[in-house]
Amino acid sequence: MDIIKELSQVIKISCTSDAIRLFDAMFRKINFSTEILSFNGVDNLYAFRSSALANRASALVSRTSAPVNSAFESEACASASEAHASALVNRTLLFLGHADVVPVGAGWTRRQGYLADGCVWGRGAVDMKGAIVCFIEALKRNPEGNVAVIISGDEEGTAEFGTPAVLAHLQSERRMPHVDFALIGEPTSSSYIGDSVKVGCRGSLNVSATAHGSAGHVAYPQFTKNAATAVIQFLNHVDAHMRTVHAGDCHLEITSVVADSGATNVVPAIARGGFNIRFTKHTSAEQLEAEITQIAGQYCGVEVAYEVACRPFECGFDGEGQGGWPKEGQGGCLYGSNGDRVALNENMNDLANEYSVGLANENNNGLLAKLVASVRAATGKYPSITTTGANSDAKFVRAISSFAELGLRYKTAHQVDEHVAVSDLYELIEIYAKFLSDFFINTGY
Ligand SMILES: [Zn+2]
């Protein structure tokens, strides 16, 4: 079946368990062993394909008849032959996706799964049923090599009974394969497919502030202390602090402001404000908390409470506050063979050579380099390496494998009229297919 029709069909299925079953059928059709693992009523799909080295060797040899059009590819594949089979390595790729979606909501101009204007419309088109369909299509073009797939039924929710439960279950039964690299199909692209690859996640700090004032008549401010004013001024101060002192590293969004004296002529005695800060590894939750507490001290009666929802993590880094990948808007920055960071300017094409050297010898066996090379081969451009955007299931695989997120364009994710251009789907298929075809070749990184 045409992938456009497949995507349309799976978008029309709003029930997550039914969508999981349709994906199950799709993976069985391309010779994966599959099982549906249910935890607390949440269905998830685990699919696995393993193939003998000899099969992959012959598949690779036959593939070399394809035209070679990239500097990376020419080095990796151009001389593939019978002898080249020894360069094959027994790796396993893990692909993560999710079949659940956020609620459709009201106000759509198109029906779910509708095809129009060169796009497929509907909830999950980009986040992320579309990427799963693309990966399946890429697998059809690359029928050899060990690939494990987890399609979670609980990513947009608590995420408790999805990917982490599947991983724990496989580990408890001692049948979790050794994973060399995890590819997560979340939407990471901005202007065009493959323009950014996500290699980590920012931290998330929730802060709630409570101001205690004293109520009284609005006409006699000398006898009152306005809690609402204190909270608003405090929020403004912290917001300005993040924009200046932590420019490029921290982003603050106010999520609630609550104060109501109950009358138009009474000053409120209590007010509350809440905000969330997303922060990179260039700072830490403890550092931010210390600064915010210090600011709160300048506003009489403001008390603050903190909850670290998530600590920042990045592929290739351990712990918090240890430098990390580049700040937003500063181009790429990767590790060289001597451990030094290789800085890149905005126009990465000018630094192609340095870029490839920087990715080589990375502590992921060069597999991140392969992904970057695949993007380059399929799109003609290098991706930027980022840690922006939302949290994903990457946090559950970071302990077992190096990883990266690469998927469709995120612009319409979670929005009314979510849609994906058909041309975007084909571009993502090209990137995924290129990555799969090179993944099992040892290029000597
Ligand atoms: Zn998603």
- Strand order from edge to edge, sheet including 419-421: 115-116, 119-121, 419-421
> Contact at 8 Å (CB) between 195 and 266?
no
Q: Which residue has the higher pLDDT, 87 or 139?
A: 139
Q: How far is the CA of 371 from the centre of ligand 1 (A)?
A: 20
Whether the pTM exceeds 0.75: the reply is: yes
Q: Which of 6-20, 95-109, 345-359 has the lowest mean pLDDT?
A: 345-359
pLDDT of residue 443: 62
Mean pLDDT of the chain: 84
Separation CA 253–CA 390 (nearest Å): 14
Kindly report, residue by residue over 380-410, the tens digit of the pLDDT.
Answer: 887 777 777 888 899 899 888 888 999 999 9
Question: Which tokens belong to 442?
Answer: 């040892």
When pLDDT is averaged across residues 328-334 and rounded to a whole number, the result is 45
Query: What pLDDT is stored for residue 207 in this prediction?
Result: 98
* Angle (nearest 5°) at CA 194 between 193 and 196: 120
Average pLDDT over residues 218-224: 96
Distance CA 177, CA 123 (A): 32
Q: What angle do CA 256, 258, 262 make, to 5 degrees?
A: 160
Catalytic residue annotation: 100, 155
How confident is the model over 164-197, as pLDDT tens digits? 999 999 999 999 999 989 999 999 999 999 988 8
Q: How far is the CA of 69 from the centre of ligand 1 (A)?
A: 32
| Sign of the alpha-carbon torsion through 95, 99, 105, 108 | positive
pLDDT digits (tens, 9 = 90+) for 51-80: 755 454 555 544 444 443 433 333 334 444
Helical ranges in 36-100 per DSSP H: 53-63, 71-77
pLDDT digits (tens, 9 = 90+) for 279-327: 988 889 999 999 999 999 999 889 999 999 988 887 766 556 555 655 5
Contact 84, 78 (CB under 8 A): no
How far does residue 380's CA lie from ligand 1's centre (Å)?
A: 26
Dihedral angle of Cα 234, 236, 237, 243, to the nearest 10 degrees: 150
What is the rounded CA–CA span in Å between residue 72 and residue 367?
A: 13
pLDDT, residue 52, reads 59
What is the whole-number distance in angstroms between the Cα of residue 169 and the centre of ligand 1?
A: 22
User: Do 211 and 236 form a contact (C-beta atoms < 8 A)?
Assistant: no
pLDDT at 372: 82
What integer pLDDT is reported at residue 298 of this predicted model?
Answer: 95
Cα 61 to averaged position of ligand 1 atoms, centre (Å): 36
Provide the 3-class DSSP secondary structure of residue 309: strand
CATH superfamily, region 3-201+347-439 = Zn peptidases (3.40.630.10)
pLDDT in tens, 402-443: 889 999 999 999 999 999 999 999 999 999 999 999 898 876
Expressed in angstroms and rounded, the spacing between residue 183 Cα and the centre of ligand 1 is 13
Strand partners, 251: 278
Residue 438, amino acid: D
Q: What is the pLDDT of residue 324?
A: 60
Write down the CATH number for the domain with range 203-311. 3.30.70.360
Q: How far apart are CA 435 and CA 398, in angstroms?
A: 20
Compute, in angstroms, the gap from residue 404 CA to the centroid of ligand 1. 14
User: Per-domain residue ranges for the chain?
Assistant: 3-201+347-439, 203-311
Q: Report CA(23)–ligand 1 centroid distance (Å).
A: 16
Cα(415) to ligand 1 centroid in Å equals 12
CA of 6 to the centre of ligand 1 (A): 19
pLDDT of 409 reads 96
Higher-confidence position of 91 and 260 = 260
Q: What's the 389 CA to ligand 1 centre distance in angstroms?
A: 11
The pLDDT value recorded for residue 230 is: 96
Distance 150 CA to ligand 1 centre (A): 13
